[in-house]
Structure 1
């Protein structure tokens, strides 16, 4: 019987996983929320006080970029880069404090390419490719504020630099009075900027997944609620969906099942576990889920960013009080604790992911190593002489 109880304990507690974040020197104390790993050793990061960073050697050395003009007080919460020379940064703030700047010379100089024309607006997410880009912001006048540079095959931010406001539909009732978007990690929005985009919301009436498509010029750009049921995440003015990602199988150019994971919670209650993650399986590449389930074992607190590690075949999510991983596509999460030679807080105080990099407040930058997993030690307490009763 003792062996059975030990086996039960091992089953319940699972394996232990150790955080493998190498803390890197960023040479800044800015709060970092923007991170984009381009590949080939090139990555860009961005944050408060007009801060933009760049590495060309996989994070060994982070270069402090020249500050974009007039950006001293701006908070760059999103960055999208294309190589070691070209990148676009998005600042988030009320009205004209939401802006886009672009560099083509390795961040030696910057050009202001777009300023938010909505005095009541606030930008939350940016996605861009070499065909153009899309910016999404808080609802204005009962409509999502979505701007696109894609113009009938032209590359507006690259050629014309005048993104256009898209004629989005009114937000469905009863969401219109409380629909919220969160600029926590530039990961509430994804897409290819030409065929479709997806974004997640939050707020007092709950979280939803929306999708948009356009087909012709002038833009016929409307959105639909892909998840007709509320995403099972925390609700409130400071709560909801803060980040989502898909596994590699969701690429329409690839075959096979894939997974869709959303994380969030209430950022004013960072230690609250309930309502911090949801997941769905997608049977056909290119589809979007119409229903998500709450994670059986959620992350151990509010999470602002999630990503799928294709090399290690696992999900990873980060937040202010820790890091969690899932090896069953978001159904169950377990903490990633520091290894014996990592700093004691190596798993904490993170904002955003672009694997293998993670960024956070006070200039924190980390780089993921291979995660080690081991079984916990067997319990040493004396087993009872009779089976436990079922509650």
Structure 2
């Protein structure tokens, strides 16, 4: 299967309209997309079927294109696609003139496709890959780069921002209670000075955020019980260090949760635990924690720590890039954080684990990369609960967040600065399907997947109908 931009057309009210064709063994689908993160992506599509056929069709969409756009598609023996926009509607042309134009364009397109087919043997076509997903974008209540998102149900979504690409005074917490159609700014007072690296929500009223100071200072956890109308400071790091902070939070249920931080010169990675829904936190004892590599910590991505079921949790480390390099490690608890084991990984020492996801107690994913070189990224997978890890096909650069798509077996999605990738085989291979800068993704069993990113964009994942 192939999916690629074939051309572009001008359209009012839309900065960039691209034409994307997806070809499979029996069909070729052409989609016009209005790519503008400031507004919803608008698209219309038309499909034609058959091999070696020449087909003409029309895409119409009154908003934002404001006009009809005609096209034809040529499907050659190798299932290549050729596209030709005719501009505005051809209804004003005579029938003979239109037929003549179609014949000319169709002949040229067919010659091109047949030439390409003769030069390049057709690769095998994957039926799974034919169902590439897409993002449906929506406006939020901020223009700041959102980096964390938590999907509670079909109506309630929380998101947060702060510090992306060195931005200052951009700390924001958002909430939607209508499925992403509208968003409210519910940032804690004075919160613009912080970077909200993680948000953990339980319902439309109860949520926690992890706030990292812009200047060296203590990490803070804030909690709301009224939908962000008011916030309570529930944790302030008593031993702040300019070289260490708390990075991620995760909950087993509405009451029990954990937070992981950096070593800060200590032999152990600090773990904070709560048993009352985040109202109070205590430092977990170190007697059940393996010693960390000196100077190691986690990446403050919001998803470097994940839970599965009632007692399993994993977190990945950033590794050591300076001095004596050391590959990132994965820590695992089976008893809610009382004791931990640690596993080495084959992940390059020049990279760190930014995000993890488990679909059950055995099958997990880890993604990340080099925070100093976003072109360098990785993906790894485990099928034994994190005891061992195998590198997978590398997505296109640094990936900051990964999630399993509920109800779709081995399907997973990862997002990052250079775009989004999907895997249909449990993380063994990845395929790019979008180039938008997205920084965080979260999937809910009953509400699908949402991602957030640059310019305050939020996006819902959509798959073609089966």
- Normalised TM-score (structure 1): 0.76
2:371 to 257, 267, 286: 267
1:105-125 deviation digits (Å, cap 9, x = unpaired):
111111111111122130100
The answer on 1:149 being equivalent to 2:149 is no
Cα pair 1:42 1:55 within 8 Å, conserved: yes
> Which residue number in structure 2 is paired with residue 24 of structure 1?
138
For 1:327 and 1:203, the matched residues in 2 are separated by 28
Cα pair 1:124 1:183 within 8 Å, conserved: yes
Question: Which is bigger in relative contact order (C-alpha 8 A, separation at least 6)?
Answer: 1
For 2:131 and 2:219, the matched residues in 1 are separated by 39
> Which residue number in structure 2 is paired with residue 191 of structure 1?
307
Is the alpha carbon distance of 1:40 and 1:18 closer, same or farther for their aligned partners in structure 2, counting shifts above 3 Å?
A: closer
For 1:107 and 1:45, the matched residues in 2 are separated by 12
For residue 369 of structure 1, report the CA deviation from its aligned partner: 1.2
Count of residue pairs brought into register by the alignment:
328
Cα pair 2:257 2:274 within 8 Å, conserved: yes
Is the alpha carbon distance of 1:322 and 1:192 closer, same or farther for their aligned partners in structure 2, counting shifts above 3 Å?
A: closer
The answer on 1:117 being equivalent to 2:234 is no
Is the alpha carbon distance of 1:280 and 1:178 closer, same or farther for their aligned partners in structure 2, counting shifts above 3 Å?
A: same
1:74 to 194, 213, 231: 194
The answer on 1:306 being equivalent to 2:402 is yes
The answer on 1:242 being equivalent to 2:354 is yes
> Which residue number in structure 1 is paired with residue 183 of structure 2?
62
Please list, as runs of the form range in 1=range in 2, the aligned pairs for 1:121-200 lying within 5 A after superposition.
121-128=244-251, 129-140=253-264, 141-150=266-275, 155=276, 157-158=278-279, 161=280, 163-169=281-287, 176-184=293-301, 186-191=302-307, 195-200=311-316
For the residue of structure 2 that corresponds to 1:279, the secondary structure is: strand
1:113-143 deviation digits (Å, cap 9, x = unpaired):
1111122130100113322321111113221
For 1:119 and 1:88, the matched residues in 2 are separated by 20
For 1:240 and 1:332, the matched residues in 2 are separated by 20
For 2:441 and 2:176, the matched residues in 1 are separated by 16
Cα pair 2:219 2:236 within 8 Å, conserved: yes
Cα pair 2:200 2:209 within 8 Å, conserved: yes
For residue 269 of structure 1, report the CA deviation from its aligned partner: 2.0
**Stretches of structure 1 lacking an aligned partner (at least 5 in a row):** 252-257, 283-287, 338-346, 374-391
**Stretches of structure 2 lacking an aligned partner (at least 5 in a row):** 1-77, 79-116, 163-169, 321-325, 444-448
Is the alpha carbon distance of 1:142 and 1:194 closer, same or farther for their aligned partners in structure 2, counting shifts above 3 Å?
A: farther
Cα pair 2:145 2:161 within 8 Å, conserved: yes
Cα pair 2:261 2:297 within 8 Å, conserved: no
For 1:43 and 1:124, the matched residues in 2 are separated by 21
2:161 to 22, 47, 54: 47
Cα pair 1:91 1:97 within 8 Å, conserved: no
Structure number with greater Rg is 2
Is the alpha carbon distance of 1:60 and 1:22 closer, same or farther for their aligned partners in structure 2, counting shifts above 3 Å?
A: same
For 2:371 and 2:171, the matched residues in 1 are separated by 24
Is the alpha carbon distance of 1:316 and 1:157 closer, same or farther for their aligned partners in structure 2, counting shifts above 3 Å?
A: closer
For the residue of structure 1 that corresponds to 2:413, the secondary structure is: strand
Is the alpha carbon distance of 1:135 and 1:348 closer, same or farther for their aligned partners in structure 2, counting shifts above 3 Å?
A: same
The answer on 1:348 being equivalent to 2:430 is no
Cα pair 1:125 1:188 within 8 Å, conserved: yes
- Normalised TM-score (structure 2): 0.64
For 2:386 and 2:245, the matched residues in 1 are separated by 28
